[in-house]
Chains A and B, each alone.
Chain A
Amino acid sequence: ETGVTQTPRHLVMGMTNKKSLKCEQHLGHNAMYWYKQSAKKPLELMFVYSLEERVENNSVPSRFSPECPNSSHLFLHLHTLQPEDSALYLCASSLRPRSGAGSYEQYFGPGTRLTVT
């Protein structure tokens, strides 16, 4: 596998289910991101992990819970979601400088199309 991979590609879940999205990067990057892409809206940054430490959480509801066990893997745990959470969830990675901010180029996975029923 090369680049950034995401599984599953499609997921349908009920509002009471618990599921997890997985992302893996094979680029040697040290930062990973979760974005939400809804129709007619710009990509929204949800979480940033740099060197496996969460550095930003853009006021995302607690029903979304990220986990980054190492620099190559990122998870998004989902529970008691709402229908408005249906969207394309994109993972990205980048090489973040060790001092200061700055994400350089971000490379995206293919996304997980989530439908909440």
Chain B
Amino acid sequence: GQQLNQSPQSMFIQEGEDVSMNCTSSSIFNTWLWYKQDPGEGPVLLIALYKAGELTSNGRLTAQFGITRKDSFLNISASIPSDVGIYFCAGQPAGGADGLTFGKGTHLIIQP
């Protein structure tokens, strides 16, 4: 089946730093989504991308749909303590039926 390679697996940063994470695939995706999951909760949708090359912002978060349609990145600027959590990329494969393919997640840890 489809697989998404998400990196890095974890990040240890200082408050105020910028963060960058990405997802790549060997096949084409029609949609890229970025979610954040806090402990004991379900994933919360952050940003949705539908067109190759699309760049979308949501506050301090910015995500881009890669031109090749095989990758996407998420940037967080000026990180704050509440940014701690696990970030997942997810995609809707081209020609796929329903349901999303998820990456394994990037665990963001902010050091005081």
Please list the residues of chain A having a beta carbon within 8 angstroms of any beta carbon in chain B: 4, 6, 31, 33, 40-43, 45, 48, 50, 55-56, 58, 90, 92, 96, 101-111, 113
Question: Is the CB–CB distance between B98 and A42 below 8 Å?
Answer: no
Question: Is the CB–CB distance between B92 and A103 below 8 Å?
Answer: yes
Given A43-B88, A55-B97, A102-B30, the answer on whether A90 and B42 have CB atoms closer than 8 Å is yes
Least Cβ–Cβ distance between B42 and chain A, in angstroms: 4
Give the top 7 A-B pairs by smallest Cβ distance, nearest first. Answer: A108-B42, A45-B99, A43-B102, A42-B102, A48-B98, A110-B42, A108-B43
Please list the residues of chain B having a beta carbon within 8 angstroms of any beta carbon in chain A: 4, 30-31, 33, 35, 40-45, 48, 88, 90, 92, 96-105
- Nearest residue, chain B, Cβ from A31: B98
Partner of B97, one of A56, A107, A109, A113: A56
Give complex CA distance A98, B42 in Å: 27
Least Cβ–Cβ distance between B97 and chain A, in angstroms: 5
Least Cβ–Cβ distance between B53 and chain A, in angstroms: 19
Contact sample, A vs B, 7 pairs, CB 8 Å cutoff: A33-B98, A43-B43, A43-B100, A43-B102, A56-B99, A90-B42, A105-B33
* Residue of A41, A48, A108, A109 with highest tally of chain B CB at under 10 A: A108
Question: Is the CB–CB distance between B100 and A45 below 8 Å?
Answer: yes
Give complex CA distance A115, B45 in Å: 27
Least Cβ–Cβ distance between B100 and chain A, in angstroms: 6
Taking CB atoms, residues of chain B closer than 8 Å to A40 are 104
Taking CB atoms, residues of chain B closer than 8 Å to A6 are 42
Question: Is the CB–CB distance between A110 and B40 below 8 Å?
Answer: yes
